Amino acid sequence: MLKRFVHLGACGLGLVLLVSGGQEVLSEVLPKAIAQEKEQEQTQAIEHEMPLEDPALEQQAQKLFRDLRCLVCEAEALASSPAPFARELRQAVRKKLAQGADEKQIHLWLRRSYGEAIFLTPAFTSATVFLWLAPFALFGVGLACWLVALRSGQARSKPRHGDTPQ
């Protein structure tokens, strides 16, 4: 008889421990339990990922998803993140679009709720001006250093008046 059933899940990985009469029964039941868990996760994902009925709104939602960062995965766009947070946020954005919110309103809501970190591309503001201008400034400094080195190299290679080549 099955006395205890313990299910520990983390990040989509499931660990099932079955204890029967003080002995572990993993080889018989584990594959079935994992298959059931995967099926349940896929069903939940499908339920959460219902696209909008209006194709234009769904296209707008997909564009928003590509511009947003998953705060769980951090380096991944919301559109491709499998995290539960990402699914919930995609559903919330779809709901706002269905209610008639435009892109600016959604951006404002996301900025208030999650801060600037939710966007893959930061806005051009006084707080982020350095992020936007630093690459150009570094390129300018590098170009100036290269020109100075080039000129000093040319000056050394030219013979001076009165110098005799040996």
Mean pLDDT of the chain: 76
CB-based contact 89:118 (threshold 8 Å)? no
DSSP 44-79: HHHHHTPPPSSHHHHHHHHHHHHHBBPTTTSSSBGG
Residue 134 confidence (pLDDT): 93
Three-state secondary-structure class, residue 157 = helix
- What residue segments make up the domains of the chain, in order of their start? 4-48, 55-118, 124-155
| Residue 27, phi then psi, degrees to nearest 5 | -65, -30
Please indicate whether residue 131 or residue 89 has the higher confidence score (pLDDT): 89
Residue 165 confidence (pLDDT): 57
Residue 138 confidence (pLDDT): 96
pLDDT at 145 over 90: yes
- CATH number (3.20.20.70, 3.40.50.970, 1.20.272.10, 1.10.8.640) of 55-118 reads 1.10.8.640
Residue 41 confidence (pLDDT): 56
Query: Token pair for residue 53?
Result: 């009925």
Burial class from Cβ neighbours inside 10 Å (0-12, 13-18, 19+) for residue 101 reads middle
Please indicate whether residue 104 or residue 17 has the higher confidence score (pLDDT): 104
d(CA 153, CA 14): 65
pLDDT at 142 over 90: yes
Please indicate whether residue 49 or residue 104 has the higher confidence score (pLDDT): 104
pLDDT single digits (tens) 149-160: 998 877 677 666
pLDDT at 32 over 90: no
Q: How confident is the model at residue 92 (pLDDT cuts 50, 70, 90)?
A: very high
Residue 50 confidence (pLDDT): 80
pLDDT at 148 over 90: yes
pTM: 0.53
